[in-house]
Chain A
Amino acid sequence: MDERKMIYIHPAPVRVWHWINAVGIVLLVITGLQIRFAEMMNLFSLEEAINLHNYIGFVVIGAYGLWASYYFGTGKIKLYFPNPKTFICDCKTQIQYYGMGIFKGDPNPHEMTPDNKFNALQKKAYLTIMFILLPIQMITGLFLWRIKKFEDYIDLLGGIKIVDTIHVILFFFFFVFVFVHIYLSTLGHTPLAHMKAMFTGYEEHH
């Protein structure tokens, strides 16, 4: 049993951000569905759904602020940037692992350490999400929240329908992401290992 040591992988601010974000996104997806498909769903009235969606949106934007100030403040944002020299190769081995090795019981080619906790695929995915998709979703959401106030910017982007289209496509993306992300979190050395770590901060190391 001694070979199993615990490493501290998720510092407190990251965990706090993560769960606010997770609950927030799930609620945004649910209220978002109610808003877009008012004729098919009856969880809330449209008026309630819109108000909730707006409040939660601001909570998620606030949480993003927490994430950004932590990661940029501590310089740990490096975690999110792949090493350009080994990136393609790393991706290949990681894909091979998820597509093949994992079924045979091969060890994960990526070793998680506090300084390098994401594998190449995670880096690519999280970098895209946190630097591009989530900010776009927050900005389009903000525009849609006060159409009149942001009229000029909306016109610049080509009209309300364009802004709405971007927000909706990303909304579907995040909807799918939540499922896939939860599933991927069960790929640790036990199904609940990653999940536990996101609460306690400690991941078991082999």
Chain B
Amino acid sequence: MFQKYKQLACCCIAFLLFIMLYPYTALSVENDECMDCHGDDSLERIESEGMKEGLYLEYNKFKYSVHNVNGITCVDCHSDIEELNYDNEIPHEASLAIVNCDGCHEEEGEAYLNSVHRKAKGKGISIPCYACHGYHYVSHLEADSVFERENGFCLKCHNPNKFHDWLPQKETHFAFVECTVCHAPEVPRYINLRFFDLSRNKFLSGEELLKGLNTDYDGFMPLVDRDGNGIISVNEFNDMILILRHKEVRGTFHGELLVHLEPIVHHVNRGGANRECEQCHIPSSPFFQDVQISLNKPDGTTAQFSVERDVLETYYVSHFYALGGTRIRLLDKIGLAMLVAGAGVVVAHLTARIVTIPVRRKRKLEEKV
């Protein structure tokens, strides 16, 4: 009975949607039409200063951009083109309106208001979203490493070597800590673990790693997280490595400190970063609480699985060590034992020396006699 109603309801909704969308899809301009002209790599125009500006768009790259994949067309962004009028030499306005990314990305647009980059507008410097993100070939950032995230963004405009002379090991920091971890401190951050295959000498993609474990994305947690508490413990981590070794997959986990891609990642402000090393370099630091294994997918997204923080203190993550912060506590215990043993020997020997003073004094007297 109920099933029947559901089917009927579905049919009605589908029909309504069709009616609503039909005229729109029919009238909207197809990407192909734009590409008739903008797919020609010789299409360019002379700017007022005599510079040439290319008007060519690589459709093969555009095809794989997040926007095209999510059905966003040319005119969704270039929204002031309502139709193409082929009577004119140029079938649309020669000077089109600026694309408003924040029309669709509202939360990001709002967060961006609280950024030194946006505030520069007061000084006449305009830094639109696409100055950082690019526009036609935007991809998901999630799976990008620190290196890719920095190169694609901050390093396009800033040379960080100029500003961080106070920072010990600055190159290492830049290689393992995303700029925004320090410069947008409100953003939640996490330690991202990626598997580096030592024999193939490369980071394994999610699929490659799953193949080694003989499972898939859905099977990963049930296989690895055996107690089913949703987080991979040190023992479970250990067993996962053993399974991989069994399949002749040998490697180590590399760690790096990334931000979660939330809108407030845009809150980069002058003086926003804090140079107190102790924020990170103590074991109770909040920076190492959230640890994730990332299985990267080809489309630039990633599947992440929580890992216990203690895994950072093991030798499975031997290429990531935040001084003090992720130190191996066992070593401290060994050190303490060495100290106690050393001090014990000294104290015992000293006590024996003091206790036996009369013995030696007597012997000296006897020898004198």
Contact = CB atoms under 8 A, between A and B. Distances in A.
Interface of A: 35-39, 45-47, 50-51, 54, 98, 102-105, 146-148, 155, 158-162, 164-165, 168-169, 171-173, 175-177, 179-180, 183
Given A47-B277, A168-B335, A105 B360 contact: yes
The main secondary structure of chain B at its interface with chain A is: helix
Interface string B41-68: 0000000000000000000000000000
Contacts of B343: 176, 179
B283 interface: yes
The main secondary structure of chain A at its interface with chain B is: helix
B166 interface: yes
Nearest to B252: A159
B321 A164 contact: yes
Contacts of B323: 35-36, 164
Interface string B279-314: 001111000000000000000000000000000000
B277 A45 contact: yes
Contacts of B321: 159-161, 164
Interface stretch (B25-33, B120-128, B184-192, B348-356): B348-356
Contacts of B364: 105
Contacts of B327: 36, 168
A5 to B, nearest CB: 20
B328 interface: yes
Interface string B258-294: 0000000000000000011110011110000000000
B338 A172 contact: yes
Contacts of A162: 315, 318
A183 B356 CA distance: 17
A165 B331 contact: yes
A172 B168 contact: no
A36 B324 contact: yes
A160 B277 contact: no
11 contacts: A35-B323, A36-B323, A50-B168, A50-B277, A103-B353, A103-B360, A158-B318, A159-B321, A161-B318, A168-B331, A180-B345
B29 to A, nearest CB: 51
B158 interface: no
Contacts of B318: 158-162
Contacts of B278: 38-39, 45-46
A183 B346 CA distance: 7
Contact of A172 (B275, B335, B350): B335
Contacts of A46: 277-278, 281, 324
Interface string B165-201: 0101101100100000000000000000000000000
B342 interface: yes
A56 B113 CA distance: 47
B172 A169 contact: no
B168 A159 contact: no
Given A104-B359, A160-B319, A161-B318, A148 B338 contact: no
Given A103-B360, A172-B339, A39 B283 contact: yes
Contacts of B345: 180
Nearest to B322: A160
A162 B172 CA distance: 17
B309 to A, nearest CB: 15
Given A35-B324, A38-B282, A103-B352, A147 B169 contact: yes
B221 interface: no
A57 B168 CA distance: 15
Contact of A159 (B281, B319, B352): B319
**A-B interface, 4 closest residue pairs, ranked by CB to CB distance from nearest:** A159-B318, A172-B335, A176-B342, A105-B360
B13 interface: no
Contacts of A35: 323-324
Interface in B151-168: 166, 168
B282 A39 contact: yes
B147 interface: no
Q: Considering residues B252, B335, B352, which has the most beta carbons from chain A within 10 angstroms of its beta carbon?
A: B335
B203 to A, nearest CB: 15
Contacts of B281: 38, 46
Contact of B360 (A38, A104, A146): A104
Contacts of A50: 168, 277
Contacts of B331: 165, 168-169
A160 B169 CA distance: 13
Contacts of A98: 349
Contacts of B104: none
A164 B317 CA distance: 13
A205 to B, nearest CB: 19
B324 A37 contact: yes
B168 A47 contact: yes
Contact of B338 (A47, A164, A176): A176
B363 interface: yes
Given A148-B175, A160-B320, A175-B339, A39 B284 contact: yes
Contacts of B90: none
B334 interface: yes
A203 to B, nearest CB: 20
A175 B360 contact: no
Contacts of B168: 47, 50-51, 54
